[in-house]
Amino acid sequence: MRANSLALRLFLSAAAWTAVILVITGIVLSSLYRQAVERAFDRRLGVYLRTLVADLSSPEEPGEKFPQSLSEPLFELPLSGWYWQVTRLDPDKHEVRSSRSLWDGGLPHLEDQGVPADAGGSREGYVNGPEDQKLRVVERTIDLGEDGHYLVAIAGDAAEITDETHAFDEALMLTFGLLAAVLLLTTMFQVRFGLAPLKRITRGLAAIRAGTAERLSGDFPEEIAPLVRETNALIDANKEIVERARTHVGNLAHALKTPLSVIVNEATARGADPLAAKVLEQAAIMRDQVARHLERARLSARTKVIGTVTEVAPVVAALARTMEKIHRDKGIAIELHADAAARFRGERPDLEEMVGNLVDNACKWAVSRVAIEVARQPPQAGGQGTVRIVIDDDGRGLSPAEREQVAKRGRRLDETKPGSGLGLSIVTELAKLYGGGLALGAAPLGGLRAELVLPAA
């Protein structure tokens, strides 16, 4: 899921950047193309402008200084969008001549709108012509000396520029749309192909946690191979540490047992000596404390093993058969209902120790019947699943106060029953080490219910 989430994030990031880049590129190309179309349009207008200027500069009779030689039919068609206008600027001889297409209207002057002239003295810009037509205008001031001072303007329909630009934008959008689709498909393929080794690692780690594999195996790209090696090295180091801890715990247990045995033997040999009795009392306490802490260290080391999984049903079934034989003289019948899919995330000896203590305790107190139920509980709110093992007996049961007392280490309610009183406390401590717990309550059979909850694989 995480790999898929990473792939989705990478794909969305690539898609976002692709969209941003294509949009910016499209805007830049559209702007450049419009400028190119405007320059071409201005060159066309400039040809007409030079023709008008040539007409004005040619020797003619006085009063006949106006254009004669433009052959474009659009200048003759009323309101065609193509116009020329020549304005004499001399104060004493102000006159305006224009193309027939301009009809009774006139062209605004770019000079009056503050448009600056270029190096050649020409001005280009947009104005609103007759009937609010948007026009592209090129104008130039001509000084003919004694023949007069003129402002020559040529205007063309700006719709040609707009239409040409829109056609280019549509082609650009279609092209960039196809390019974006190709890029996104390529990116998707690259992301999925590039993250495939990480998905394999995810599946491998899940297999290790489930207990179906011990190491990451397979061929990985050289960029991922160091991660795989370090992960396998970490798993090996974890197992080595656990094995070393077990060895140290065993060595310490043997090292302490011998001196304690010597002390107990020497004190026992003293008979009724009060000092010997005190030594025996304290030696028993020492043995209990040593056994308790060594057991906690052993169990803690075992719960840290990665990838250990135990099937619950076979273990419980074997324990039930064993307990029936052990308590054959009482005629105890053990009923078992176990979910075959229940799997404990831990080691088999620990499961046997916990369930064995609980079943043995139930058989000791039961009259004739013990019921065991094993079920797998699904995960809740993003947590992991659990295995629920319920053991009921038809004995006399326990009050709430008695249940609290028997959970304490070494406490026994009936000294006539065999045992040291450590069973339930060991089960409680071991279950907590695995992240589970033990709860005591009233059984439907009338006796005690012991409910053991452990992490599921």
Q: What is the predicted pLDDT for the residue at 319?
A: 93
Q: What average pLDDT values come out for the chain (457 residues) when binned by 10 residues?
A: 64 84 93 93 90 76 53 83 88 82 85 82 88 89 83 91 93 92 86 78 78 76 82 82 72 73 79 78 76 63 63 93 89 91 87 91 90 89 82 88 67 42 73 87 90 89
Decide: helix, strand or coil at residue 236: helix
CB-count burial class (<10 Å; 0-12, 13-18, 19+) for 346: buried
Q: What is the predicted pLDDT for the residue at 32?
A: 95
Distance separating the N- and C-terminal Cα atoms of the chain:
18
Which tokens sit at 37? 């179309």
Measure the CA–CA gap between 433 and 290, rounded to whole angstroms: 18
Nearest to 302 by CA among 343, 344, 347, 345: 347
Provide φ and ψ at 236, rounded to 5°. -65, -40
Measure the CA–CA gap between 333 and 345, rounded to whole angstroms: 29
The CA dihedral of 423, 429, 433, 439, to the nearest 10 degrees, is: 90
Provide the CB-side half-sphere exposure for 121 (13 A, CA): 11
Query: Which H/E stretch holds residue 366?
Result: none
Measure the CA–CA gap between 411 and 423, rounded to whole angstroms: 10
Answer whether 362's CB lies under 8 Å from 434's CB.
no
| CB burial string 352-366: b at 16+ within 10 A, e below | bbbbbbbbbbbbbbb
Answer whether 211's CB lies under 8 Å from 309's CB.
yes
DSSP characters for 5-16? HHHHHHHHHHHH
DSSP characters for 134-201? EEEEEEEEEE-GGG-EEEEEEEEETHHHHHHHHHHHHHHHHHHHHHHHHHHHHHHHHHHHHHHHHHHH
Q: What is the predicted pLDDT for the residue at 60?
A: 58
Q: What is the predicted pLDDT for the residue at 135?
A: 92
Measure the CA–CA gap between 420 and 409, rounded to whole angstroms: 9
Q: What is the predicted pLDDT for the residue at 1?
A: 43
Answer whether 362's CB lies under 8 Å from 370's CB.
yes
Which residue shows structure tokens 């609290």? 404
Measure the CA–CA gap between 269 and 60, rounded to whole angstroms: 153
Answer whether 63's CB lies under 8 Å from 154's CB.
no
Q: What is the predicted pLDDT for the residue at 293?
A: 65
